[in-house]
């Protein structure tokens, strides 16, 4: 997730707009955990605009639960939690990368909890011991510029294997996995689906067709949308938004399956207000929460999702699980530094 500014905001039932919620956030300066009945502290990596919308919907359903929020990027939130490990300051983790959540040091801080409606979330999107569950996430996709493809008489790709064909030489752009979580999910999923030996051989071949690697996960799609490149390796929600805005692109989900990151939720062992923390976590799998997630996220894990029309028009199926590669989140987390070091040695010399 982007951004490193910490915000702490108290959100109540009072009539506030989503914009007001964001504007009302104050710089985080609190100390100590939440001990007051009806008040919890939540750590999250959701983006500020979606966070404000989610919180407003939550307060409409849980008017008696007061929520203090600390919002940080995934890496910064991990660092803060580890620094506070001896005296955690929060009750709930919400919308945080599963590949960060599975760190054994983090897992040791969690208390298993299964919301009443947890069966709506398939087992593949939750910890087998009940330590965490994911309700949202984001997935990889290709953004293919239809005009650029037609100009050069190029065939539409349908898979990762297509992208290493010689006719695509110099036509590709993708995020650098050393700086972009989207870039890393692509690389990690390729190494998992192909095996490391063949995966690195594939990435060597892909590199021959790559014009450049850039820091942002969204910029490859934006660059392809603007006609700067024929194909941008990016993520689905950016493609969906650009298609909805009228850009001449096609979203392609690779036939081998899309790499993805889940945004997970969990209860802290040290929570001083577990009743309200559990009410909050129950809400995160509610129908109203799902309705709000649907407006913002390409992955909403609850079964029976009503897929938004603009998502379907862009090519996302009703059942998102049918197009996702089954990522091993623990493996991706444990091998992150080694994979990035190898990638940089091969492609940044």
Give the pLDDT band (50/70/90) at residue 5.
very low
* CATH code of 65's domain: 3.40.190.10
Three-state DSSP state, 176:
coil
Nearest to 157 by CA among 249, 236, 247, 228: 249
pTM of this prediction exceeds 0.85: no
Same domain, 121 and 159: no
Q: How many domains does the chain have?
A: 2
The DSSP result for 240-304, as a single string, is: HHHHHTT-SEEEE--TT-B-EEEEEEEEETT-S-HHHHHHHHHHTTSHHHHHHHHTT-SEE-STT
Q: Inform me whether the pLDDT recorded for 33 exceeds 90.
A: no
**Average pLDDT score over residue span 202-216:** 95
Domain that holds residue 282: 7-137+260-310
Mean model confidence pLDDT for the chain: 87
- Give one word for 211, left, alpha or beta, with left for phi > 0 and alpha for psi -120 to 50: alpha
- Which is more confident, 8 or 176? 176
Which tokens go with 134? 């994911």
Same domain, 207 and 332: yes
Same domain, 229 and 115: no
- Residues 247, 269: Cα–Cα separation, whole Å: 47
Same domain, 217 and 328: yes
The answer to whether residue 43 sits within a structural domain is yes
Same domain, 286 and 218: no
Same domain, 268 and 251: no
- Residues 181, 327: Cα–Cα separation, whole Å: 14
Partners of 70 in the beta sheet?
Answer: 43
- Residues 158, 45: Cα–Cα separation, whole Å: 32
The answer to whether residue 315 sits within a structural domain is no
**Average pLDDT score over residue span 332-347:** 93
């Amino acid at each position: 997730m982007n951004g490193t500014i910490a915000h702490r905001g108290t959100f109540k039932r009072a009539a506030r707009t989503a914009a007001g919620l964001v504007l009302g956030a104050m710089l985080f300066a609190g100390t100590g955990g939440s001990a007051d009945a009806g008040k919890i502290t939540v750590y999250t990596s959701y983006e500020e605009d979606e966070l404000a919308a989610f919180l407003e919907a939550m307060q409409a359903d849980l008017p008696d639960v007061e929520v203090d929020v600390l919002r940080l990027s995934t890496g910064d939130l991990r660092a803060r939690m580890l620094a506070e490990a001896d005296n955690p300051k929060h009750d709930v983790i919400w919308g945080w990368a599963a590949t960060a959540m599975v760190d054994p040091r983090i897992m040791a801080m969690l208390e298993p909890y299964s919301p009443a409606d947890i069966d709506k979330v398939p087992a593949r999107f939750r910890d087998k011991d009940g330590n965490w569950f994911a309700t949202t996430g984001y997935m990889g996709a290709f953004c293919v510029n239809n005009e650029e493809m037609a100009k050069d008489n190029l065939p539409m790709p349908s898979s990762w294997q297509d992208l290493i064909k010689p006719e695509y030489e110099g036509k590709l752009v993708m995020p650098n996995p050393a700086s972009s979580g989207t870039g890393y999910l692509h690389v990690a999923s390729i190494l998992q689906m192909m095996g490391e030996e063949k995966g690195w051989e594939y990435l060597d071949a892909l590199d021959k067709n790559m014009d450049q690697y850039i820091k942002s996960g969204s910029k490859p799609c934006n660059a392809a949308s603007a006609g700067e490149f024929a194909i941008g390796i990016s993520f689905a929600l950016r493609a969906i938004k650009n298609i909805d805005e009228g850009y001449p692109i096609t979203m392609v989900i690779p036939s081998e399956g899309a790499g993805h990151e889940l945004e997970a939720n969990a209860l802290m062992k040290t929570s001083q207000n577990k009743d309200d923390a559990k009410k909050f976590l129950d809400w995160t799998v509610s129908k109203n929460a799902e309705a709000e997630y649907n407006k913002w996220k390409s992955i909403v894990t609850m079964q029976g999702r009503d897929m938004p029309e603009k998502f379907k028009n862009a090519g996302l199926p009703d059942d998102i699980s049918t197009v996702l590669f089954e990522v091993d989140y623990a493996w991706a987390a444990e091998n992150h530094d080694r994979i990035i070091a190898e990638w940089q040695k091969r492609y940044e010399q």
